[in-house]
Structure 1
């Protein structure tokens, strides 16, 4: 019998293959070296190849699609229930193969090289932000030991640098001064690299009609728009806007048993980076409610009167996510609600 479905457990050097025929009977079990991968699959007749959606999965998926195979990427958490007993490469490949054949399984779309390149810019930017924040915190802690403090925020670093320069040796010894100056230079270097990453993201945003369309929504700028386009594509893999919001982890966690249903906090599942960007944008939208020079949003004012600011920001992020899904699937710009709907 010919192989119909193959489960492929990916690794760096050694790959495990598990294949079944139309009846679901195992007909193939084999280990492959990295150099043998493409030659092996080139000899195989076109079939369905299932893989976990890991870092290298999109690369191998594109390679296998080019030689005629149908590739399905599965989230790792959906594969885990099918692993029997001990976790080995062979057991993982068998579990992937079984999960691939399930009719109700959810799959991850294969990303293009362009999508992955934009996501690489975002990942590097996020890493630089974390490194700069950690360095600033370390710098503030060390300066605080000598009584030099300033207000919160990156903009206050100039004040700290000036106070360090004006402090005499009796306040900050020479050895400590040199160490602190090293941190200041490191922060400047990180800021410069961060600017380069953001410039690359903005440049791609200006060349992408899809990203510019999403940026027309309130609370969505070039950073958020490019990240969503690169991570989600056209959004057609989601059946509705609620499924998209649930994938982002912005829907409430529901526990139901014995006819009783309890709605809790948001699930915080899915892509943490996208969820963070949407909530940051939502905080900016909520902040405009307290400004006199911005047209009020009656529904948002009513929400803030009933709920805390953070809860309102999460609700706005959920609302924005649903709007973005509609904009992606319908290929439309953001349409502001009419006065009647805003007052409702």
Structure 2
């Protein structure tokens, strides 16, 4: 009986020690106050190690969710099911969300690391004075191609994609604004054109490209290029950057007729419940050292001039991904076209995709 009681006492003692260790471990990994921020971002768009670092430095737990389109993100914020504290919309969506009062004004004084941002990428038309948004990453839309397969070919024009020699060898990103846009640019129209006749011409012009199109694809575009399933692709610059920087086989060009200059941005939705935590997270991501690490992990171009200065010379001086002022002057930022016009873009793009089958 005595031995039985001793075993019970030892078991209780061991249990209490384990509970104490567990509580200490939990305290190290989470805020003792239970403070959290809810972050809503594109997939694979932040170095996971930086989230861990932020949690460790601040004691604020990050609840991180991802979306795959601006429309899905906007709808979820509008419905208010989750009270996100920081979200990452693209420029035309910032414009729309701002107009529909889905965003809170940003207090710049609470984000001192905004001083690290390059003025060339601030004060854009979609948010003058950056009252509601802070630039996160930016880039262009262009053509990546295999130089070994086409060593003497010049892809500095959208017209080049239509050459009959590229039959069944061109991949296109799955984006209505991007693909209808390249046709509009080729015809000399704006990426933000709303004239029905111009959009009709753009759709009709794309039908001439149809024989050359291998497919309209998503994330698999990099793999398909590397495995030589196709040798030319219309892509976002962030997709092209790791391809051309890791292999001498490929090059990336922004066509001379013009293209898109896009921005993904940090915003605070109006339903945010931890604004102070949101400011801390945004400021953390704009720290030069942190931003450099994040830029190298994500692969897109950073608007953070101090972080950019810390990048390797072959990256920070690469005008294919950090366009010169001359090139930038030919680029357009997407505008919010309104529901009706956007639906027309989507419908015409869908018609084109269906015609490929």
TM-score (norm 2): 0.22
Give 1 or 2 for the bigger CA radius of gyration.
1
Which structure has more helix as a fraction of its residues?
A: 1
TM-score (norm 1): 0.22
